[in-house]
Amino acid sequence: MENTLQYKNLYNRLKKEILADVYPLGSVLPSENELCAASSLARSTVRQALSQLETEGYIVKQKGKGSIVKSKSRALNLLSFHGFSATVEQDEIFTLSVQEPLIQPWPADFFFDLNEIESGAGCIHFSRVRSIDQQPVMFESTYVPNLNLPKFTRQFQLHTSFFEFLGKEYHLEIMGMDQQIWAVAAEAAIATHLQLPIGTPVLKISRKYHTNRPHLHLYSLLFCNTEKYAMSNSSGLVNA
């Protein structure tokens, strides 16, 4: 616990200094040795803090040069299939419920083709806005085939991890996904949810998650505000 607190303190301090231009774009952070000496921390703790800065897109490590400031925009690893809660610290997340889980027919103009079993079962639909540091970053509308998921609408809490809930309650695992990404202008409803002017560019992402049940897929339609936070898949950044 103490090591976790120490690395987070160093990470937060360096992040604030990057955002305040103490370390401008292209500058080099103090070396690991210098950070260890200045902070009286173990090298493993310093490396953990630097690793998180690199994962979030603030710095890039170059052999022979050190940790170079890359961006003042935090990158969220949301283009992977691990889910929002797995890529952002829980104490940073605020979730606003837009629609509680509800059993309903599939939308007529659904964004993915459904198999016959899913189509006949109807769906469970919920939607929510995910925010970081009071900044809405993602509107998420999720559709789940209503297949052998008893008590879903009563048990799932929108502020919790959807994937963790599925694993714990139904032994469902995410095996992979298909996704399509567009840059679009935010229409009125999306602009309201993300607190943006109408017409602001946002990322629109449609997803089909494959699970360990052959005929059961999960579907999500996401709209992401990249004004403050870039979207990353760990190998690159995406901004609308």
β-pair partners for 126: 142
142 and 53 together in one domain? no
23 and 135 together in one domain? no
Whole-prediction pTM: 0.69
Of the residues 69, 103, 123, which one is the last residue of a structural domain? 69
55 and 103 together in one domain? no
Question: Which pLDDT value is given to residue 235?
Answer: 42
Q: Rounded CA gap, 197 and 203, in Å?
A: 15
Name the residue with tokens 């493993």. 44
The structural domain count of the chain equals 2
Q: Can you give the CATH number for the domain in which 170 is found?
A: 3.40.1410.10
pLDDT digits (tens, 9 = 90+) for 34-56: 999 998 999 999 999 999 888 87
Question: Which pLDDT value is given to residue 70?
Answer: 82
Domain span at residue 160? 74-238
Of the residues 69, 98, 124, which one is the last residue of a structural domain? 69
How far is residue 43 from each of residues 7, 19, 51, 203, measured CA to CA in Å? Answer: 10, 24, 12, 38
Question: Which pLDDT value is given to residue 95?
Answer: 92
169 and 216 together in one domain? yes
| SS3 at position 82 | coil
Q: Rounded CA gap, 102 and 207, in Å?
A: 20
Q: Rounded CA gap, 225 and 118, in Å?
A: 31
Q: Which amino acid would we find at residue 170?
A: Y
64 and 79 together in one domain? no
Question: Which pLDDT value is given to residue 240?
Answer: 47
Exposure string over 149-186, b if 16+ CB within 10 A, otherwise e: beebeeebebeebbbebbeeeeebebeebeeeeeeeeb
Residues of the chain with pLDDT under 70: 1-4, 71-92, 229-240
